[in-house]
Amino acid sequence: MKPSKLPIPDVLLFEPQVFKDERGYFYESFQLKAFQQAVNREIHFVQSNESFSKRNVIRGLHYQVSKPQGKLVRVVKGTVFDVAVDLRKNSPTFGQWAGALLSDENFHQLWIPEGFAHGFLVISDSAKLQYMVTDYWYPQYDRCIRFDDPDIDIKWQDMAHTDIDPIISFKDQAGDSLAGAEVF
């Protein structure tokens, strides 16, 4: 697991070493010691989640205002543009976003620490994501910021390389603006 810092240094992209041959491939998708060394702290994952979505679905930007979750996200089928938004009000990167293409072909994973909102756009016909989280889901603390908030200005269209007609849940359509959101 080779870590790379994104424009927001606490958000890390992990690139595993993949061993391919005529039979297929093998790679180590997670190794606790290497991961904790890369994030420079002890991490305990408590839950693993899976999400399936169709092309042009945008999920997010989700976070928990209390009992925040760190997330290690990977795609097991398809391609997504995965995004983290810094919601730590005392951070020099507050309100900024960092993103990466994750796919079943590049095997990359994105570490999104606590204090960030998370979202993604499905670029392939469909996508299946798996992600481990550092705390449980608490519906009473669940919050959402709109995917199209102009103060954040995520470049979804640029990553899709075409115009998209996004498919958004009612919950996500009703998300707050960054200016009105509860932050850390």
Q: Amino acid identity of 41?
A: R
118 annotated active-site: no
Which of 25, 131, 136, 161 is labelled catalytic?
Answer: 131
Out of 25, 44, 62, 141, the active site residue is 62
Catalytic residue check, 131: yes
Q: Each residue of 103-131: b (16+ CB within 10 Å) or e?
A: beeebbbbbbbbbbbbbbbbbbeebbbbb
Catalytic positions are 62, 131
